[in-house]
């Protein structure tokens, strides 16, 4: 089974940046940009102490090419163009990105350890109560981002973005699971398989926000839209078999989240606000096992200390 370390849609896991190259060419209305970065993130002490290398036999170490847990690494590239429009009241930008992440640290549970030949007793007796870490995964992500900003006048501002992501696991460790109900479909029970998409990374995602700010009033209406994603339910049957495992492809449904907030400035230093989240009260789980809250509303008052001369008079 293969494990994923991921985060941002473009850069699933961007370790600490240690080298960046940036170039920008601009005119009054057009800007060209290019960025390059290399990253490295050292493993934690716990990951090093619970390394797979520590529990394998010399023959297994040679067979699987396993070494002590080392740092995660990345290389990232992006290039794009930004264009000003409508006499400077609007901007539109397009960015292409290509990222590689390798030597990512994966956690193997006892079942995964036993599947590669680790003694069951040794698998259960690991420092974490059953499990070990190994540099096992590499990923590639490429795609494009489209962004726009428009000043509509009268205090109205619109911002929107769309991201297309083509991501794939280029290297993984272990073996696929098989559900007897789907005998011809290999399943990543706890992590994506080699050649599949990383978990939780939507091929299509977008966001928008319409803001109003004039005199004492301000308001914002925003939305976040996500397409279907690969994922795993991480479920087994009552006998720890694979009968409840489902194919990973597009297992997590898409969702849309709409929010609205309104505020009014009572004075220079006091402001009341009301915030409403998930206006459609949509039931969704960004990650299986963590359901999002339904429609939520909160209201209050905020005070600003400082920033205005003699505000207390």
The DSSP string of 152-201 is: EETTEEEEEEEEEEEEEEEE--S--EEETTEEEEEE-SSSPPTTSPPTT-
Mean pLDDT of successive 10-residue segments in the chain (313 residues)?
Answer: 38 47 67 93 88 82 84 95 91 96 84 71 61 88 96 93 96 81 86 91 96 93 96 71 81 94 91 94 85 92 73 48
Phi, psi for 44 (deg, rounded to 5): -80, 165
Tens digits of residue pLDDT in 147-162: 999 999 889 999 999 9
Tens digits of residue pLDDT in 237-278: 655 566 778 899 999 999 999 999 999 999 888 999 999 999
CA distance 174 to 271: 56
Query: Residue 198: what pLDDT?
Result: 93
Query: Residue 16: what pLDDT?
Result: 43
Is 205 part of any domain?
Answer: yes
Q: Could you give the 3-state DSSP secondary structure of residue 124?
A: helix
pTM of the full predicted structure?
A: 0.79
Query: Residue 136: what pLDDT?
Result: 84
Is 181 part of any domain?
Answer: yes
Is 192 part of any domain?
Answer: yes
Q: Please calculate the CA angle 288-43-198 and round it to the nearest 5 degrees.
A: 35
Query: Residue 61: what pLDDT?
Result: 81
Query: Residue 313: what pLDDT?
Result: 47
Structural domain including 51 reads 17-253
Is 52 part of any domain?
Answer: yes
CB atoms within 10 A of CB 68: 12
Is 285 part of any domain?
Answer: no
Query: Residue 262: what pLDDT?
Result: 96
CA distance 130 to 237: 19
Query: Residue 22: what pLDDT?
Result: 65
Query: Residue 165: what pLDDT?
Result: 97
Which residues of the chain form beta strands (DSSP E)? 17-26, 30-41, 72-85, 90-108, 132-153, 156-171, 177-179, 182-187, 204-214, 217-226, 255-265, 270-277, 296-303
Query: Residue 13: what pLDDT?
Result: 46
Is 12 part of any domain?
Answer: no
Query: Residue 166: what pLDDT?
Result: 97
Is 228 part of any domain?
Answer: yes
How many domains does the structure of the chain reveal? 1
Is 304 part of any domain?
Answer: no
């Amino acid at each position: 089974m293969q494990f994923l370390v991921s985060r941002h849609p473009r850069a699933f896991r961007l370790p600490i940046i240690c080298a960046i190259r940036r170039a920008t060419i601009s005119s009054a209305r057009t800007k060209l940009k290019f960025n390059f970065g290399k990253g490295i993130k050292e493993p934690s002490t716990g990951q090093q102490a619970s390394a797979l290398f520590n529990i394998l036999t010399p023959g297994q170490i040679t067979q699987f090419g396993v070494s002590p847990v080392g740092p995660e690494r990345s290389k990232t590239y992006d290039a794009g163009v930004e264009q000003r429009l409508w006499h400077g009241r609007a901007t539109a930008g397009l960015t292409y990105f290509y990222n590689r992440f390798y030597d990512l640290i994966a956690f193997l549970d006892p079942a995964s350890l036993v599947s590669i030949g680790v003694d069951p007793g040794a698998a259960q007796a690991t420092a974490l109560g059953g499990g070990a870490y190994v540099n096992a995964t590499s990923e590639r992500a490429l795609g494009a981002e489209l962004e726009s900003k428009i000043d509509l006048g009268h205090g109205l501002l619109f911002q929107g973005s769309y991201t297309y992501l083509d991501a794939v696991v280029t290297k993984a460790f272990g073996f696929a699971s098989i559900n007897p109900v789907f005998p011809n479909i290999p399943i990543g029970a706890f992590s994506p398989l080699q050649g599949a998409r990383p978990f939780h990374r939507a091929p299509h995602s977008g966001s928008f926000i319409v803001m109003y700010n004039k005199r004492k009033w301000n308001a914002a209406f925003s939305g976040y839209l996500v397409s279907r994603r690969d994922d795993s339910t991480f479920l087994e049957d009552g006998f720890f078999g694979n009968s409840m495992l489902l194919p990973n492809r597009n297992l997590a449904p898409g969702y849309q989240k709409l929010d609205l907030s309104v505020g009014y400035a009572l004075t220079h230093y006091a402001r009341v606000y009301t915030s409403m989240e998930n206006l459609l009260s949509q039931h969704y789980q960004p990650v299986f096992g963590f359901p999002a809250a339904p429609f939520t509303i909160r209201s209050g008052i905020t005070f600003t200390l400082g920033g205005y001369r003699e505000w207390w008079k």
